[in-house]
Structure 1
Amino acid sequence: MTSMHRRSVPPPLVVGPSSSLPTEHGTFTIRSFTHNGITHAVMSMGSPEKRDAPLVRVHSECLTGDALGSHRCDCGDQLTAALAAIAASGHGLLIYMTQHEGRGIGLAAKLQAYALQDGGLDTVSANRALGLPDDARDYDAAAAVLRELGCPRIRLLSSNPSKQEALEALGIEVASRVRLPVADRPENSRYLMSKRLRMNHDVPSHLEEELSAVPSTRQARHEPPIGSHLPLNGRDVYDILSDEAEVVAQLAQSQDGFIATSTGDACFVSGRTDRTHLHRVRASVGAVLVGAQTVIADDPQLTVRAVEGENPVRVVLDPRGRVPTESTVLRTGPAATLWMIGAEATVGSDVGDHVRVVRLPPMGAGETAAPQTVIALIRERVPGSILVEGGGRTVSRFLSAGVLDRLFLTTAPVFIGDGVPGIRFEGSEVMAQALRTPFRRFELGEDICTEYLLSPAAVEHSSQAPVPNSVTVGSTPSTG
């Protein structure tokens, strides 16, 4: 068996005849495109194929918002604004994606989620309470339509970075993402805020100012803008990780030491500045590693989105082959993925061609791969630093094994009470023998990030970087 798997040839598009569609925004051309048995409608104006990057709206079907005029969401407003923007430009496309109702969960499930939202859950928690993904949409048909119409490079009308990433993973170049001028309504402001805070949707600049005026709620914190650095001068910590070959871990947990609630909800323990810091670290390393449970619970992308930089190679540590092949890291790019599985684990045939399977050495029943072995296997394939990102058990194992050079442990000002634990390992019975290392402490918005220097190499690398007064510096205390 080879270590790489390729997708089957995508089904052809069946294109229907063109007809005119007069609207209040002007006359569009409309036609049907059937992909894999599902028919979508495409409205066009002008000659988008002759433009370097025409305006394109990939719009998800929403019966309640588009047809019934619901104000629970902004879908109808977005649809109207997109058609107006395309008409104003004179050239562009609107791809109306059927079977995207409720971010792909279907109309019945969406209405069930509405009932849960009426009871107090937000849109993400409602989906999860039903055992459904946060977002079940795929954009294969949209990418196929754009290629068919000669528009491989576009300006995307959307506030959703994930939509851009999905199209780019399918070979569509998104030259820019254009936010539509749609104002929040009183009926949908909580829904839109949930998408901005929990699904990384763009936050309008005027709302940033409003959020800073309401410091009493965690969801309304004012934090430094995306792209900020840790407050180091000269050779900062990101330069160190880019220049050296360290093993670094990162974890965010509550004041009482949990990384998620008892239901597994981890969005979000820490604030946006800490998440920006995480993306800065990702952009500075060669590989980012997570355990199987993190992929199963969170379905992360593990890409760089909040800052400029290249995506690291994604590494999934999955000795028993438990990770579903429909997981984002195995199904889509744009980053390469190493799927590290046990010698006897079964590999599905439907993973993306960006995935390379790496077999772990044989292990006994109940055993897990030694962190030293995992690091060595990654180093054979990926240069640079390695980020161990999660979850709590994986980071704890690598810390206990002594393979980490440094650890970023962010503590958020929240108490969870019970849930998924963060750092845990078999400790010493004597306080004098507890693990103590040099450290530096940073304020990241309302969160506190402590950087533990766990190896002589990390201490040496970090001593070359000047540390200003705004950073707390500590060292191993005396036991006397």
Structure 2
Amino acid sequence: MTDAEVTTLTSRAVVTSLPTEHGTFRMLGYDGAGGLGHVALVLGDVAGGTLDEPAPLVRVHSECLTGDALGSRRCDCGEQLDAALREISREGRGVLVYMRGHEGRGIGLLAKLHAYALQDSGVDTVDANLRLGYPADARDYADAAAILRDLGASRIRLLSSNPDKAERLTELGIEVVARQSLPVADRPENAFYLTTKRLRMRHDTVPATDTWTELTAGRVPARAAGTDAVLLDRYGPLVATGARLTIAQLGQSADGFIAARTGDAEFVTGPEDREHLHRLRALVDAVVVGAATVVADDPRLTVRDVPGRSPVRVVLDPRGRIPADSRLLREADAPTLWCVAEGTAVPTGLAAHVEAVRLMAGPDGFEPAEVLAEMHRRGLGRVLVEGGGRTVSAFLAGGLLDRLFLTTAPVLIGDGVPGIRFTGSDRLADALSAPVRRFLLGPDICTEFDLTAVRAA
């Protein structure tokens, strides 16, 4: 098929916008698919591109009513769709082409349901299609290639576990410079379906690796099962962001306090949340706390509950008020940066693992942006802001957080040390809002705020 033939298969019909939980995309409608039409969701400038510029992320997604709209777990289509939008949003540049007419790998909705009925009796997805008189895969990607050409995205990084899709697009003149799988976990309900795709349709296989080991090494496995699937789903997106990431974690009571009025904070949340905190520490280069946290809790800030390397410990202490016998200054479990203001006296003869770092301080202490810049200058790109409430709030108010993990325990303190506090808005309609995920940590509920989406919007 020639380039001219590809570009005449479909044409752009309308351009609008679509706000989603992953940000606001430019949405383009195209004719095709027998009048059903296709849709492209575009973020950033995806046209052109050179060998010196990364090709845009592209997901060519086949329509799946049961998975995309109804949340079916017989397949992984809905989760792949969500993961693709999330990856494109994180990168800030890419395309999702939603292909109508691809239901059931191109055989149509009702035929797919007939195939489901055969699968209920133990027939795999390939043989079900063949028994009904259809090809194993009847999809055509000519319209997808034409849409990408219209967008100027003829050189792409394809989000797919299917090598056939990359080969078909290549035949249609789209240069697939890389193909990467999306971090979506297998489920018991779709394990047979996914195994069939890997064994009979050449889809990427799941490497026999330990998921947590891979994550702490900075790699995101394509698949995981059992408890590893939970780890992949919860922490895979953090690893996938790359070398720069700023997150915060805070545990508080249901009425918003991180400690009692005496400062006692042991323990507001339960052991499952502490394990979660240690996993976050293992995934970052540095962990940041304020002096008040050190004075009140004398923390170690190490990884003890899970396998992994302890991060560099950073104490924000403009006036040099943490005790000289603090664990962070005495115990050489990890390198420690003691950040003090210019002119603040520090003891002589600090332990070898401790470095006094001089930063400019204002009336309210250090500027969070300057702290973060200092970390980056030292090659500490992945940073966890752990406490206390004022420190986390300052980074949040400064618009510096990519993620905020806020764990709420089922306890009422009544009065004490507050958690998140910042200058808010006069109207609820203007309150800070972001896409969230929630998961249970024993009796506690952790809410993950994706603040990158707020900045992208």
TM-score, length-normalised on structure 1?
0.46
Larger Rg: 2
TM-score, length-normalised on structure 2?
0.48
